[in-house]
Amino acid sequence: MFKAAIIGGTGYGGAELCRQLLQHADVHLERVVAIDNVGKNLGEVHLNLLGRTDLVFEEMSPKDAANGVDIVLLGLPHKVSATVMSELLETGAKIVDMSGDFRLRDLASYEKYYGVKHPRPDLLGTFVYGLPELNRAAIRDARCVASPGCFATTIALGLLPFAKAGLLNQRVRTVAATGSSGSGAYANAGTHHPYRAGNLKIYKPLDHQHRPEIEQTMADAGAGDKFHLDFVPLSAPLVRGILANSIFDVPADYDRDRVASLYEQTFADAPFIKVVKGRYPEVVAIAGTNYVEVGFELGHPHDGLRSVVATSAIDNLVKGGAGQAVQNMNIMLGLDEDAGLMSSMGIWP
């Protein structure tokens, strides 16, 4: 039985980490560290956990949090994870970080999109990027993993078959809608329910912090030098889920069977990817789970090309957050990749 600790356990990402680890058969959750709600039982804050554990939120140093555990999972905000990393690296624990602090390898990109100086720029590029469908072997040997962002996971998995086939040496345009839980547990004027429930709006058009992350991932997967992502995020009136639609061109001789074979080859060993046939991916089919639905549609040939819409759907808190962190943890600890994650089916309707 492996032992795990969570640092940053009171937000929505932390809540999902707690839920996943409390039902994990091979990993015991030893402690949950936070700076708020200290002394409260987990179930007092995360109501779905009431009666499931005697653990309470504790306040302690990162070094003490890592004491005696095999792995530490960080549910801290962006710009905060980096401030505790030096102390954590002095311990023997493996690390999975859910923030954006160590996803990008380029310092200038980090400082531009996150708006702060990085406290440990020397560590950029030392964390393995935790997208198992692309980097499984490297994750297996890693001590430190940077788990991907929610939009980045959704869009990258939709584009991955085409990047690997060398078809993304071009501009790609993506519109992706996300649920309100992606804005975190503490509402502000633009994200609280009365404002959002009957509303649709874009935000950070062409300038979201996940854009360079996706471009880095696609380059690693085989996209060409001319690949560029125009990304427009959409705030949707739902709590969980992301639906992404990416539009680009492929040669006209890529018919439905040929494109379908790209998906089959790319995701043959991916336990959480469902390639949808006969319909398009939907959020309701995967809500509450670590699964991803991917699919596509083709346009009619024109001037030697045809348009593709690559669609993908995830739960932003599970595969887009804590579930993928647990998936990475499993790989790092030598467990079955789907341990603790396969029992959850989507809720219908």
Strand partners, 177: 234, 243
Write a three-state SS string for the chain: CEEEEEECCCCHHHHHHHHHHHCCCCEEEEEEECCCCCCCEHHHHCHHHCCCCCCEEECCCHHHHCCCCCEEEECCCCCCHHHHHHHHHCCCCEEEECCCCCCCCCHHHHHHHHCCCCCCHHHCCCCEECCHHHHHHHHHCCCEEECCCHHHHHHHHHHHHHHHCCCCCCEEEEEEEECHHHHCCCCCCCCCHHHHCCCCEECCCCCCCHHHHHHHHHHHHCCCCCCEEEEEEEECCCCCCEEEEEEEEEECCCCHHHHHHHHHHHCCCCCCEEECCCCCCCCCCCCCCCCEEEEEEECCCECCEEEEEEEEEECCCHHHHHHHHHHHHHHHCCCCCCCCCCCCCCCCC
Residue among 150, 172, 236, 287 flagged as catalytic: 150
Establish how many alpha carbons lie within 13 A of residue 240's alpha carbon, considering only the half-sphere containing its beta carbon: 21
- Catalytic residue list contains 150: yes
Gap between the Cα atoms of 166 and 313, Å rounded: 23
Catalytic residue positions, numbered: 150
